[in-house]
C-alpha cells in the first residue's frame, strides 16, 4: 500500500502567555504540543489518532493540513512537503475540524459554489458533486437555508460536503462525530468507510474508543504529544488486551516517565 501521509519526527511547541501558564499551572513559558511524532497513513485505510484532550492530536492534524507550521520534522502528503508546497497539499487534502467554521450568513448552496471556485473545480463537475453530496447527506432540502439557521448536525454535514468539494485523495477529520446525534454519527461513519473503500487515505482523531474499534484499520495512541503505540487494530486484540485497557496502561506509563 502506498503511504499517502508521511510524518517524520514532527515537533510543535507553543509559547504560553502568563495567563495560559496560570491556567496550565506551570512556570514553563513553552509547551511542547507534539513531541517527535512519526507515523504514516496509507491509501485505502482509516488511521485513528487516539488520545486524551490536549494530547496533541488536533495540533498534529493542523500541521498536516498546513494550517500551522511545524517547528521541526517533515510531513509529506501525496509526495508534497509542507515546507515548500503548501498549495499543492491543500489541493489534495480535505480537512475538517471544529476550528473551521462556515459563515452563518450564507446558504450551503452559495458556500459550495464559493469553495468550488476557490478549489478551481469546473462548474459542471462542481454541480454534479453538489448533487451527489447534498443528496447523500440530506442537505438538498436545506440548500437555501442560511447556515446560521441549521441544526448542529446539519451544519456538520454541510462542512463534510464542503471539505470534499475537490474530491481529495487524503481526508483529515478531527473528531468526526463530536456533537452529532447517533443517527448523523452513523451517516458520517458509514461515509468514511465508503471513502476508504474508494481508495482514500483517511486520518481521524478521537478520544472515543468505540469509534476507533468500529472504523479504524490502524491506531496511533498519542499521550502528552508522544506517539506511544502505532499498530494495526488487529494487533491490539492479538496482544491479549482491549483498546481501552491498552490506552490506560500507556497513559499510566507516560505519567510515570513524565514524573521522573
Judged by the rule CB under 8 A, the positions of this chain that interact with another protein are 65-69, 87-88, 90-91, 93, 95, 99-106, 110, 114-115, 117-120
Q: How far is the CB of 118 from another protein (least distance, A)?
A: 4
Cβ proximity to another protein: between 84 and 120 the closer is 120
- The least distance separating another protein from the CB of residue 240, rounded to whole angstroms, comes to 42
Q: What's 106's DSSP letter? A: S
CA distances 209 to 4, 58, 111, 214, Å, are: 24, 17, 34, 9
Residue 59 or 189: the one with the smaller Cβ distance to another protein is 59
Q: Which is nearer to another protein, 87 or 151 (CB)?
A: 87
* Count, residues in the chain: 260
Measured from the CB atom, the residue of 150 and 223 that comes closer to another protein is 150
Q: Taking the complex as a whole, how short is the minimal distance between the CB of residue 14 and another protein, in angstroms?
A: 9
CB of 114 to another protein, least distance (A): 5
Q: What is d(CA 55, CA 45) in angstroms, rounded to the nearest whole number?
A: 23
Neighbouring CB atoms inside 10 A of 182's CB total 8
Report how far apart the first and last C-alpha atoms of the chain are (Å, whole number): 40
Amino acid at each position: 500500500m502506498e503511504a499517502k501521509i508521511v510524518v517524520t519526527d514532527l515537533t510543535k511547541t507553543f509559547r504560553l502567555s502568563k495567563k495560559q501558564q496560570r491556567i496550565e499551572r506551570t512556570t514553563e513559558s513553552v509547551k511542547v504540543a507534539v513531541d517527535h511524532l512519526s507515523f504514516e497513513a496509507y491509501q485505502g485505510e482509516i488511521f485513528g489518532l487516539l488520545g486524551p484532550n490536549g494530547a496533541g492530536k488536533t495540533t498534529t492534524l493542523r500541521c498536516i493540513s498546513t494550517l500551522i507550521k511545524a517547528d521541526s520534522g517533515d510531513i509529506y502528503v501525496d509526495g508534497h512537503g509542507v515546507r515548500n508546497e503548501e498549495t499543492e497539499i491543500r489541493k489534495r487534502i480535505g480537512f475538517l475540524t471544529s476550528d473551521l467554521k462556515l459563515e452563518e450568513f450564507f446558504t450551503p448552496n452559495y458556500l459550495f459554489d464559493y469553495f468550488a471556485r476557490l478549489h478551481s473545480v469546473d462548474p459542471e463537475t462542481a454541480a454534479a458533486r453538489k448533487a451527489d453530496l447534498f443528496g447523500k447527506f440530506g442537505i438538498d432540502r436545506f440548500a437555501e437555508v442560511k447556515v446560521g439557521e441549521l441544526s448542529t448536525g446539519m451544519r456538520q454535514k454541510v462542512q463534510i460536503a464542503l471539505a470534499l468539494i475537490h474530491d481529495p485523495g487524503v481526508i483529515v477529520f478531527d473528531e468526526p462525530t463530536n456533537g452529532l446525534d447517533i443517527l448523523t454519527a452513523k451517516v458520517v461513519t458509514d461515509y468514511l468507510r465508503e471513502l476508504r473503500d474508494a481508495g482514500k487515505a483517511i486520518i481521524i482523531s478521537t478520544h472515543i474508543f468505540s469509534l476507533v474499534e468500529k472504523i479504524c484499520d490502524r491506531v496511533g495512541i498519542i499521550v502528552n504529544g508522544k506517539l506511544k503505540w502505532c499498530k494495526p487494530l488487529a494487533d491490539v486484540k492479538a496482544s491479549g488486551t482491549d483498546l481501552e485497557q491498552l490506552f490506560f496502561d500507556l497513559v499510566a506509563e507516560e505519567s510515570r516517565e513524565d514524573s521522573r
